[in-house]
Amino acid sequence: MPSREELRAFLRAAPGRVGKSDIARHFGLSSDQRPALRELLRGLKESGQAAPVGRRGLAAPDRLPEMSVVEVTGTDPDGDAIARPVEWDKANGPPPVVFMKPERRGLPALAPGERVLARLRFLGGTKYEGRTFKRLVSETRPARILGVYEEGRIIPTDRRSRAEWMVARADAGEARPGDIVLAEPLPQHRPMGLRPARIVEVLGRMGEPRSVSLVCIHAHGIPDIFPAEALEEAEKAKAVAKRGREDLTALPLVTIDGEDARDFDDAVFAEPEGQGGGGWRVVVAIADVAHYVKPGSALDREAWARGNSVYFPDRVVPMLPEALSNGWCSLRPQENRGCLFVEMRFDKSGTKTGHRFGRGLMRSFARLTYEGVQQAHDEARDPEGVPPGTVAHLYGAFRALLAARERRGTLDLDVPERRVILDAKGNVTAVVPRARLDSHRLIEEFMVAANVAAAEELERLRQPCMYRVHDRPSDEKLEGLRQFLQGLGIKLAARDRIHPRDFSRVLELVKGRPEERLVNEAVLRGQSQAAYSPDNIGHFGLALPRYAHFTSPIRRYADLLVHRALIAGLGLGKGPSAGGLTEEEIARFPDTAEHITQTERRAAQAERDAVDRYLAAYMADRVGDMFDARISGVTRFGLFVTVEENGASGIVPLASLPDDKWQLDEAGHGMTGRRTGLTFSLGQAVEVQLASATPRTGGMVFRLMQGDPRASRRAPPRGRQKRR
């Protein structure tokens, strides 16, 4: 084995990033030495002697200088600023993260967009601690401030932000107290007190039905207004011609979506075939978005910028204008639509024996819902408007595909999605777990099969592919998860032998136990994040060697690229007007992959924030009520708890716990009071009282009853029942 110094010398001499295979080849290491090499490299990364580049690459560390200009990008859970260096070469990988220390007493907190000259201390890996040396006036566009205007000041809508702003009457414009506003900072005239700002736009009023999604859209910078040129292109769209397309209008394809679905871009069909009817023929037809959204057009530029649609309880911010997303690219029942389709054949065990892609003209026989299809299956009947046997055949093919999935050993997490139910006025009437039926899983299996076929076909055609990749969990995350599970008496396989089925076994062990939801969430947090990439590393969670998104080009730009690559590779049309992939697009695949990965994560965070705010609004009139909950996080500043009833989460501040010297264990799985002996641990069942709920930020504060000497004699709040 090479020494650390030899490895560092090799990294310094390498022209760019290197992988474990490059190192093993250079030093002549055998496969038996790989585990030892992995441990050695992990030590180098943790000590800052090697820097991670990309998913699996390494390079010599490129340390930031002790004094650097950094820009604040957000805040951590404590409300302290997080920043990144202003000057950073992308070739060196993701920029380092700088955790800024709180400002000196009396000085305003740092706000997103603000630049400072900071004194840095290396923490290891790509992390630094920063202290403000000097605040700088940005020469670029002023940072944007989003908040609620209240009598001369702006209160931020981000619950992690501590920065409030002062607004002079002359700078308030037409804003009224309670308005959601966008503002820009003004030059700082005095060192103490609130910083001045000027309101530049009034977005709406806090508390109005659509205010929650409005805040989330602007907080995350999600584009929600289409350029006139893009709208004009969408309005000119018309029905596709039959010429050059395979006629599928007689095939009884159906769409199956949620009751609240806003677009329908996939349709399915299945029938038994083969000797004795043991095998299955499955057809998945997808709206032909590439026919309408041509490379380089205004529609294409806007779709690329958005990356994906964003879904809120009260609205959707679509990737494409409504004339397409709810019109020509929506597979409405009894209307002819252009499509790309894949016809797949499976044997009785669910193993795919062949597939064929084509460009067709289809006609959906019915718009079905998950609930309706599940009920029809349970009652052994078919919904109105579809041929006899439609549902039975769909479930027959599903069972075969499910058997193949179980043999593969995939990760199947059970983390219930929260569904916000609104009344006609936009007020929250309930927050409930979204049902997960076999009909949901049926569509998931059909879509996964189609996505795999798309990736395989593009590889066969030697066409570029925008893969959907999912790396194995990092060693650091695995070790944290392993320690957590050990506290529950559960063992996890070693790092170098981990497989998705190992996580499935863990989930099976806790099924029906009180800690089931917490373990599912912990396993989810322990995974790497899926991403888009032109380089294939496989999909760990699905246990698949290749995977690409093909099934939702209305709402995901990645799928549109896959459609274009298939059109070009299979010759499904002539010339650029056919909607095939262009050389220019291929050249920017790496940049596009990074961009649409970020827009997807931005959308997911905005959607989560919206649900949190709706939950806070729903819980606001239940302040003082008691709830059964579980401890879902243990930190140095308090406990996080999750209410069993509806998944609402909030903090129990350390200051509200019994007066004691609280000691946090190293792994962050619990804390113990030295004087009282009280212990609070991750997953522990507790009773909490809601102390406050703030819809503006989505924040909730709870009071823990355990260990509270007042709890035994505290009566339920007047006018409310104790809730269990």
Confidence of residue 358 (pLDDT cuts 50, 70, 90): very high
Instruction: Give the whole-number percent of the chain exceeding pLDDT 90.
Output: 48
- Which pair of tokens denotes residue 328? 């020509």
Name the CA dihedral angle for 242, 245, 250, 253, rounded to a multiple of 10 degrees.
Answer: -120
Q: What's the burial of 671, exposed, middle or buried (CB within 10 Å: 0-12/13-18/19+)?
A: buried
- pTM for the whole thing? 0.79
The dihedrals phi and psi of 489, each to the nearest 5 degrees, come to 80, 25
**CA 270 – CA 283 distance, rounded (Å):** 6
> What is residue 137's predicted lDDT score, i.e. its pLDDT?
64
The average pLDDT across 413-433 equals: 85
Q: Looking at the domain covering 145-206, what would its CATH class be?
A: mainly beta
Q: What is the DSSP letter of 231?
A: H
Strands (E), 443-508: 467-469
> Domain 67-136, CATH 2.40.50.140 — does that match?
yes
Sorted by where each begins, the domain ranges of the chain are: 4-59, 67-136, 145-206, 228-471+531-608, 475-525, 623-713
Among the ranges 95-104, 202-211, 687-696, which has the highest mean pLDDT value? 687-696
The average pLDDT across 391-398 equals: 97
Confidence of residue 666 (pLDDT cuts 50, 70, 90): low
Topology of the domain covering 4-59: Arc Repressor Mutant, subunit A (1.10.10)
Tens of pLDDT, residues 190-213: 556 788 899 999 998 988 878 899
Domain 623-713 sits in CATH at 2.40.50.140
- Which of 15-24, 215-224, 335-344 shows the lowest mean pLDDT across its residues? 15-24
SS3 string of 260-272?
A: CCCCCCEEEEEEE
Contact 257, 326 (CB under 8 A): no
How many H-runs (helices) and E-runs (strands) does the chain carry? 16, 33
Beta pairing partners, 204:
180
Nearest residue to 144 (alpha-carbon basis) of 90, 93, 99, 185 = 185
The average pLDDT across 669-693 equals: 89
- Which sign does the torsion angle of CA 87, 93, 94, 95 carry? negative
The average pLDDT across 242-262 equals: 92
Tens of pLDDT, residues 301-316: 999 999 999 999 999 9
| Beta-strand relationship, 531-533 and 467-469 | antiparallel
- Which pair of tokens denotes residue 209? 């039905």
Confidence of residue 188 (pLDDT cuts 50, 70, 90): low
Beta pairing partners, 700:
693
Domains 4-59 and 623-713 share a fold: no
> What is residue 721's predicted lDDT score, i.e. its pLDDT?
43
Task: For residue 543, count other CB atoms closer than 10 A to its CB.
Answer: 18
